[in-house]
Amino acid sequence: MTEVRAKKALGQHFLTDQKVAKAIVDALHGGLPTLEVGPGMGVLTQYLLEREDIDLRLIEIDSESVEYLLTHFQGMQGRLMEGDFLRLKLEKLFPEKFAIIGNFPYNISSQIFFKVLDYKDSIPEVVGMVQKEVAERIAEKPGSKTYGILSVLLQAWYDIEYLFTVGSGCFAPPPKVESAVIRLTRNSRTDLGCDEALFKTVVKTAFGQRRKMMRNPLKPLALARGKADVLSQDIFSQRPEQLSVEDFVALTNLLD
């Protein structure tokens, strides 16, 4: 097999620029077991295998890519799994802390980050290439129109760095949009200071009507919890995009 055919259904756009590939791998601090998500034809894999500080595992859903990797890279047996990252029981694969790296498929990049949040105490670092607007959304600060659910939930637990933009000409086939590489580094927070499940509900509910003042989307939740009296407070007259992580923590405590 000389190369893998990119499959639209899997959101595949294979990175072909070697300088970009090496820059992505160099962005990983290392020192931890590392899982590469969606290695494709191994453009990142080749550089990851060169790093002695990384014990590499890989997961790939595309059987054609799996066959390619097994053929073109030595030592893939035992490292490479064929399967869906979103269904993977990560705690069985990595009993200790580990990092994640990958050129994430555009169609599941948000789901990948939600899964990272589920394992936030086991994943100190993520380096990923995603659609540029997703990267901007994740890294954005309050007050921006792109600031949203993922911004708040990820920034509660991770420091986010927008590292660099990658043009569409660096891929085959070229995507219709630009891409970007971001790095997530686990912050020192061990506790939100509020009910975590309710925090998620508040954030998701608030941004469900992001153009409205907070009391509109959150009124049913406040009523259901017997907290209608808090709706008169100033914080409920703001829009969700104006609130920081700490503001959402305070809001959650008001509704708890």
Per-residue pLDDT tens digits for 160-184: 999 999 999 998 878 888 999 999 9
pLDDT at 142: 94
Residues 158 and 214 reside in one and the same domain: no
Q: Where are the alpha helices (DSSP H) in 57-214?
A: 63-72, 90-93, 109-118, 132-139, 149-155, 196-207
User: CATH number for the domain including 238?
Assistant: 1.10.8
Residues 233 and 132 reside in one and the same domain: no
pLDDT, one tens digit per residue, over 110-155 is 999 999 999 999 999 999 999 999 999 999 999 998 999 999 999 9
Question: What are the start-end ranges of the E strands in 16-63?
Answer: 33-37, 55-60
What is the average per-residue pLDDT within 51-58?
96
In sequence order, what DSSP letters do the residues of 198-243 get, joined into one string? HHHHHHHHHHTTTTS-THHHHHHHHHHTT-GGGGGSGGGGS-GGG-
Rounded to two decimals, what is the model's pTM? 0.92
6 pLDDT more than 70: no
- The residues facing 159 across adjacent strands are 185
pLDDT at 8: 56
Instruction: Confirm whether 140 is domain-assigned.
Output: yes
Tokens coding 126: 């993520």
For residue 187, name the pLDDT band (cuts at 50, 70, 90). very high
Residues shown for the chain: 256
Residues 46 and 142 reside in one and the same domain: yes
Last residue within a domain, chosen from 152, 186, 220: 186
Residues 178 and 235 reside in one and the same domain: no
pLDDT, one tens digit per residue, over 200-244 is 999 999 999 888 899 999 999 999 999 999 999 999 999 999 999
Dist. CA 94–CA 145, nearest whole Å: 37
Instruction: Confirm whether 2 is domain-assigned.
Output: no
pLDDT, one tens digit per residue, over 78-101 is 899 999 999 999 999 999 999 999
Residues 52 and 121 reside in one and the same domain: yes
Residues 82 and 171 reside in one and the same domain: yes
For 180, the 3-state DSSP assignment is strand
Residues 168 and 200 reside in one and the same domain: no
Total domain count, the chain: 2
Tokens coding 69: 């990797």
Domain that holds residue 205: 196-255
Residues 79 and 38 reside in one and the same domain: yes
Residues 6+ apart with CB under 8 A from 172: 6, 13, 14, 16
